[in-house]
């Protein structure tokens, strides 16, 4: 099943995240795709991601008969404050140039001419949006309008920033990618803004940001009823309330179990209980 953003572009309903995989990135991406994942998330940010190794995996998959066109590729522009000395662009250039250089370098790492989704890793400002955010967003709009990416998005946003972006942008984001905390009603406020605008909400660190729920007796009871584990209950719950989950698993077994979660059916009461479990 796919989720569709307001511009009509579909995204597979589960995404494989490549952060912190280091030299294992290429083999894990290949395993994820061979297990059934069709969407890959990365970033042009060497502190946390190995985008070029994702590209190696894509080449290897191509040789095994799985072409790039079968996959949904998402990467990010990471502002200089999220980079170390290996910044993939000239950090003294103007911001529009930084975005273009980072984008071109991503295309080269990933051996592709076009992305499915290009995401601003995070606003420059903590609250509201500032001059830098507007300049970077305008450069991303230019990439979208040129057809070199099918979607643009933003990550690590708080509600007021997303509202402001939707009001001021010439092109609204098609995706939002946020850390999803149960204690915030699974980012309820941001999700509602997304729903109102036809933006696809991607939730990351569903497990690592909510570890206590992996041992929660109520989640365990639901998992036992469904004959699965708490991690799969959380992934399926996320999908059933409209979140596109990312998984960062390094285990082949977990990849298969996570993909199987799409077949699970939680009751309305179970969904309601998990939605409010930390409120
Ligand atoms: N935009 C941003 O700023 C940002 C920030 C962070 C992450 N992300 C994206 O989100 C992706 C996922 O983040 P994450 O790694 O924190 O996600 P995560 O899937 O919540 O956490 C990964 C952890 O959960 C465990 N796990 C995964 N599936 C499991 C299962 N079925 N059963 C038991 N344990 C399971 C993994 O262990 P095993 O390896 O043993 O399975 C690993 O310890 C990243 O790779 C990245 O693409 C984006």
Residue pair 33/71 in contact (Cβ under 8 Å)? The answer is yes
Cβ atoms 15, 202 nearer than 8 A? yes
Query: Strand 10-12 relative to strand 2-4: parallel, antiparallel, unpaired?
Result: antiparallel
d(CA 164, ligand 1 centre) in Å: 29
Q: What's the gap in Å between 245 CA and the centre of ligand 1?
A: 10
pLDDT at 85: 97
**pLDDT on residue 279:** 87
Predicted TM-score (pTM) of this structure? 0.97
Cβ of 230 closer than 6 Å to ligand 1, yes or no, is: no
pLDDT tens-place values along the chain, 279 residues long: 799 999 999 999 999 999 999 999 999 999 999 999 999 999 999 999 999 999 999 999 999 999 999 999 999 999 999 999 999 999 999 999 999 999 999 999 999 999 999 999 999 998 999 999 999 999 999 999 999 999 999 999 999 999 999 999 999 999 999 999 999 999 999 999 999 999 999 999 999 999 999 999 999 999 999 999 999 999 999 999 999 999 999 999 999 999 999 999 999 999 999 999 998
Using a 6 Å cutoff on CB, does residue 233 contact ligand 1? no
Closest CA to ligand 1's atom 42 = 249
- C-beta of residue 165 within 8 angstroms of C-beta of residue 157: yes
206 in Cβ contact with 235 (< 8 Å): yes
Provide the pLDDT for residue 241: 97
Mutation test of ligand 1: which of 19, 234, 238 has the most ligand atoms closer than 8 Å to its C-beta? 19
pLDDT attached to residue 1: 77
b/e per residue, 56-75, with b = 16+ CB within 10 A? bbbeebeeeebebeebbbbb
């Amino acid at each position: 099943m796919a989720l569709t953003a307001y511009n009509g572009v579909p995204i597979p309903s589960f995404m494989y995240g490549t952060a912190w995989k280091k030299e294992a990135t290429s083999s894990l991406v290949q395993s994820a795709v061979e297990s059934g994942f069709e969407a890959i998330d990365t970033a042009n940010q060497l502190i946390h991601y190995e985008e070029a190794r994702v590209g190696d995996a894509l080449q290897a998959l191509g040789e095994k008969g799985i072409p790039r066109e079968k996959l949904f590729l998402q990467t990010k522009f990471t502002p200089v404050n999220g980079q170390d000395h290996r910044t993939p662009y000239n950090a003294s250039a103007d911001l529009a140039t930084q975005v273009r250089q980072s984008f071109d370098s991503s295309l080269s790492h990933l051996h592709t001419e076009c992305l499915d989704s290009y995401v601003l890793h995070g606003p420059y400002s903590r609250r509201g949006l500032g001059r830098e955010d507007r300049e970077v967003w305008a450069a991303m709009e230019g990439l979208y309008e040129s057809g070199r990416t099918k979607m643009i998005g933003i990550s690590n946003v708080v509600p007021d920033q997303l509202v402001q972006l939707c009001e001021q942008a010439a092109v609204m984001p098609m995706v939002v990618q946020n850390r999803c905390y149960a204690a915030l009603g699974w980012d309820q406020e941001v999700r509602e803004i997304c729903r109102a605008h036809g933006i696809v909400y991607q939730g990351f660190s569903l497990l690592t940001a909510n570890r206590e729920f992996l041992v929660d007796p109520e989640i365990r009871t639901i998992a036992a009823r469904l004959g699965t584990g708490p991690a799969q209950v959380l992934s399926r719950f996320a999908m059933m309330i409209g979140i596109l989950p990312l998984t960062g698993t390094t285990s082949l077994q977990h990849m298969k179990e996570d993909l199987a979660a799409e077949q699970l059916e939680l009751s309305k009461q179970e969904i309601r209980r998990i939605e409010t479990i930390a409120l």
